[in-house]
Amino acid sequence: MIKTAIIEDSQALTSVYKAFLNDSDFNVSLFHSTISDINRLTKQGGFKLIVCPCFPKFQDGPQIVQSIKSDPDLSNAVFIVSTSMQQENVRSEWDLRDIDSILIKPFDQQGLKRTLQKAYHSHPQLTRQTPLALVIDDSKAVRNTLASYLKALKFDVKTASDGYQGLKTASDILPDLILVDVEMPVMDGFEFCKKLSKEPGIKNIPTIVVSGTIDESQFRKGFRAGAIDFLEKPVSQPALAAIIESVSVKENTHSTGTTVILSKDNTLSSILTKTLNFLNSSINICSSLDELETYLCVTTPDIIILDLSENKDKLNVCMHVRNLLRSDSPVIIAVANETDRDIMFQCFQFGATEFIIKPFGRDEVKARIENHIKLKKLQDELVQKNRILESLAYKDKLTGLMNRRYFDKALKDETAKAQSNNTSLSFLMIDLDNFKQVNDRYGHDTGDAVLKEIASMIIDNVRGNAIPCRYGGEEFCIIYPDTTLAAAVKNSEKIKRFCSTKPISKHRIYQTISGGVSSFPETSSPEDLVADADNCLYKAKRAGKNKIITNFEE
């Protein structure tokens, strides 16, 4: 089961997710986009997939992804954004490098499952314990020799004696690698590669041609057919091992990025897909510039490959794509014919990062890209570290709640919203009763356990879009946007009740709390919300503790 978190504020869509993913491979937990629910999500942890609406109700999407991905347990979770694609300001709202995949709304059950499965698995072969190779040769001796080499390299092996049998076997078993002999009766190796490239389910399997002679003519013929490399007969195990290491056919390797290819040439797209296998990247094919524009509207890939060979306005294609990205981060690789060498340096000026001439070898493409990928990895690590640092600046380390620094900013923002929109804003100040006695009697470790458990109970019972924070020491507070005094008091009483009834730690401490509630415009001005709630808190203390008091009470 794939542990999946669905963040959704619409009750109707929540019901759809439940119905569509019931009895599926996805173990689904549902959350709202409130701070308290996102805290609950990170507290629960262990999620492999996270689906979030493009425009959540209670927080900005980037805030949500930052809060989630700053948690070490969730930093590698696949993040999927659901969108209707009519929203043209998606790019302005999101840092699209945070998005691993897109879920297009409206969707049917199969479309939803397909999107989630594709996001989670980089290839259908991921479920295998060991990689699988297919050897196609009309000579039994050659088949046996290559099979023995591959088994020594930790492969499972299937064989076929001709091209037709090879195509059927490839379709049935979906191998990770295919070795095919050039010289076979009925269908030679090049013809096999051509036919393979036209089969949707198997066209992107890396295919290596085995030949007695390798010259310029054969290289070009193999490229046009869709092969990614050659092995010269007699084949040695070290040569085979070197190629396998180079194409990175490995077991259970997850996707490490996104690549998009713009090309009308299906063979070229297939070659590039197989050539880039070493990246373990999720690869998307766009056959037109309009399709690429739509794709880039909602996500930013790590690598973009532009086939310029059939474009008349080659330089403007590079410039247009770079402008769409609004960033220098993604690698843009321009692929062109030999007759286009004269525009190579201009392509760099117009936004391309690399320029490759057809036909090209796999090693050439790999060498050109690897340095860019290493640099991108360093940049991503820096972004992640900055994200964690920023999260630490706003999160209380002990309780996981937002801290005083975040509270000051949030209260200022919510006060401005309440005044501007003429809506209610309520505030609860909480203090733990007799907490000093807990520390004195049981020690500070137990005191910390009590603080963490009270914070957990606040998270589990806080209302809607409320913002719970640790104010300092044993004091907590909750900002209630768009909430009347009566509603805030009701939720505060619920929290108080839960805190007093649950035993904490091995000492079974029943920790009560006292609270004061203020509300704009019912009891307080925006400037006096905190002071009024604090005064009410002290009234609750003097009245015997374990109480919630407001300014409306005597």
Q: Which sequence positions are flagged as catalytic?
A: 474
> How distant is the alpha carbon of residue 206 from its chain centre?
26
Q: Are 427 and 517 in contact (CB under 8 A)?
A: yes
* DSSP-derived secondary structure letter, 279: G
Q: Are 133 and 148 in contact (CB under 8 A)?
A: no
Return left, alpha or beta for 518; rule: phi > 0 is left, psi -120 to 50 is alpha, else beta.
beta
Q: How far apart are CA 458 and CA 477, in angstroms?
A: 10
Q: Are 548 and 442 in contact (CB under 8 A)?
A: no
CA torsion angle 216 217 223 229 (round to 10): -50
Determine the 3-state secondary structure of 297 from DSSP: helix
Q: How far apart are CA 419 and CA 137, in angstroms?
A: 78
Task: Give the relative orientation of helices 362-394 and 266-275 as an angle to the nearest 10 degrees.
Answer: 60
* Strand blocks (E) in 349-424: 354-357
CA torsion angle 107 109 110 116 (round to 10): 80
Sign, CA dihedral 200-201-205-210, equals: negative
Q: Where are the alpha helices (DSSP H) in 45-156?
A: 61-69, 90-93, 109-120, 140-152
Query: Kind and range of the H or E element at 7?
Result: strand 2-7
| One-letter amino acid for residue 347 of the chain | C
Largest CA distance in the chain: 99
Query: Kind and range of the H or E element at 53?
Result: strand 49-53
Q: Which of 383, 186, 237 is nearest to 302 (CA)?
A: 383
Q: How far apart are CA 368 and CA 318, in angstroms?
A: 18
* Strand blocks (E) in 233-326: 258-262, 282-286, 303-307
Q: Are 37 and 46 in contact (CB under 8 A)?
A: no
Q: How far apart are CA 116 and CA 20, in angstroms?
A: 12
Determine the 3-state secondary structure of 394 from DSSP: helix
How far CA 347 is from CA of 22, 351, 355, 448, in Å, comes to 50, 6, 8, 60
Strands 475-481 and 467-472, how do they pair? antiparallel
Burial of 92 per CB tally in 10 Å (0-12, 13-18, 19+): exposed
